[in-house]
Structure 1
């Protein structure tokens, strides 16, 4: 792995060692966290219509390790070996290619670049998508660690809630409310006035309450526990893990068209993913964070050298909040 980055500078050029490194997390075999390595890679340059971002932080998501877990899954996402890792990023534009409009060197940005964000630099299309890379300007009042958590989870939550079209009269049931997408979904639902019930482990109850959620322990008897809350009938549901919450919602009388999934597909039940989010969804979320109306819990940050430990923590699915790789932090 790469030597520790101590941030020392070059007195002749004024640049820092961090500026001159081009580390990237790579997979040289598909599998679990043990396959992840940190390598020095060839320096990339912004071509026509592209920008290069010096990444300062990269947020982790379940999709990062799920889609690289085996060759068949990776192929569905267009990935082949060797490939990078991670999708969410935040940082500073340090190159602007010819014809790339809307960005200038020094702009703070956040966004997504499919399976290549955990790296010192990422090159993306100025008018791109998640595969080619996409960037949004970071509000002044949002730090980079927080900004690096927004793209995938925020756009997925926004897309799912757009399907449900919630209002103040709704009571929303969220399965997996404390997870990476859940922390966005429950707060966005509350902002439009909906009441939110969230399932989770008993240990997660206080965490869910801190997000404005009525917590309910999942498992046998969950329907009775939801009814015992006595806050009115459940009118919509969001299943963030699979289909268990779908079944509960149906038993509570929620019609299929007011149920949404993100990790499974069932006949008659709408599904959503981040690609379905509206064009202004992420800017709106970033503005809500900047205004203090939406909070992103950060469970842990790790230096790039500890990528395996970070992925193991995130993949265990018991973490409360987001896990972020801080590329400015020495290992």
Structure 2
């Protein structure tokens, strides 16, 4: 029987387990994917605790995960354009991607380019569409300056690269350990912590036009203090500050159809124009260890599970 990540109650990392489950059967418009890689994301950890139970109600036992890449094993009725053996990148809205076999709506898949590694493909959806949506929401133009907090994280590492592609000057807030990686992607590294506002002003003598916050913890207030207009500030995590100050919270929803954006991002990766840093890869059975590393919030790029 195939294995899948499950939890039977809200809680911390200790509620996660890997169970044997019945083999899924694709219905109309669905395909069955044998997963080669599945990304993990902070939002999944928050949902698992039950803090967002009113927004994201759960039926137990619950699965987990959205990101996936794999090989189509079976095609349901009414599916066109895909067949068994196709290599695909996609996502599930059913919290089910962290498993060996996953049912996916055909419209939520795109073909995986041959030269995109499985780990990269499997961790692309959430961070990719979130970064894409955040960058588009602040409406960058060539010659402008944008600051990105959490610039070496899963979303931030893609946001800085996509922002650079607009022709904007990008300042990335991160730890000193990520300086070299940011500089290699033509991003100006600035260390976070005490005095960060002064360091940003020194790096951007002409001022800051936009701010993308992927970390929370006061960065919306910092952006306003730097003189950035609320409509040019986007946070993907600090919703209380967004409600208080009227800044944007555009991420994945702003990206539009997920499979279309996935195809665009995968093509950029295949052509060498976009890098998805992989912080670590764990076997599915070590899902607890993977989330333990994720929740330290100091990884560069994505953590991925390999069934």
What TM-score do you get using the length of structure 2 for normalisation?
0.93
Whole-angstrom CA distance in 2 between matches of 1:42 and 1:75: 29
* Residue 289 (str. 1) matches residue 269 (str. 2): yes
Which of the pair has more CA radius of gyration?
1
Which secondary structure does the structure 2 equivalent of 1:100 belong to?
A: coil
Deviations 1:278-320 (A, max 9, x none): 3332211111000001011111111111111011011111111
> Which residue is 1:188 aligned to?
162
Deviations 1:114-171 (A, max 9, x none): 32111011112223xxxxxx22211122121110111010001111111111121111
| Among candidates 268, 271, 293, match of residue 249 of structure 2 | 271
Distance 1:93 1:184, change over 3 A: same
> Which residue is 1:79 aligned to?
58
Distance 1:75 1:256, change over 3 A: closer
Q: Is the 8 A contact 1:74 1:80 kept in 2?
A: no
Q: Is the 8 A contact 2:2 2:21 kept in 1?
A: yes
**Displacement, 1:207?**
3.1
| Among candidates 299, 307, 317, match of residue 297 of structure 2 | 317
**Displacement, 1:230?**
4.5
Which sections of structure 2, spanning at least 5 residues, go unmatched? none
What TM-score do you get using the length of structure 1 for normalisation?
0.87
Distance 1:100 1:216, change over 3 A: same
Q: Is the 8 A contact 2:9 2:61 kept in 1?
A: yes
* Residue 41 (str. 1) matches residue 21 (str. 2): yes
Deviations 1:218-246 (A, max 9, x none): 22211111122245321110111225222
The structure where helix makes up a greater share of residues is 2
* Residue 63 (str. 1) matches residue 63 (str. 2): no
The size of the alignment, in residue pairs, is: 300
> Which residue is 2:105 aligned to?
125
> Which residue is 1:53 aligned to?
33
| Aligned structure 1 segments of 4 or more residues deviating by more than 4 angstroms | none
Whole-angstrom CA distance in 2 between matches of 1:106 and 1:50: 15
Whole-angstrom CA distance in 1 between matches of 2:26 and 2:145: 47
Whole-angstrom CA distance in 2 between matches of 1:308 and 1:92: 25
Which sections of structure 1, spanning at least 5 residues, go unmatched? 1-20, 128-133
**Displacement, 1:202?**
2.7
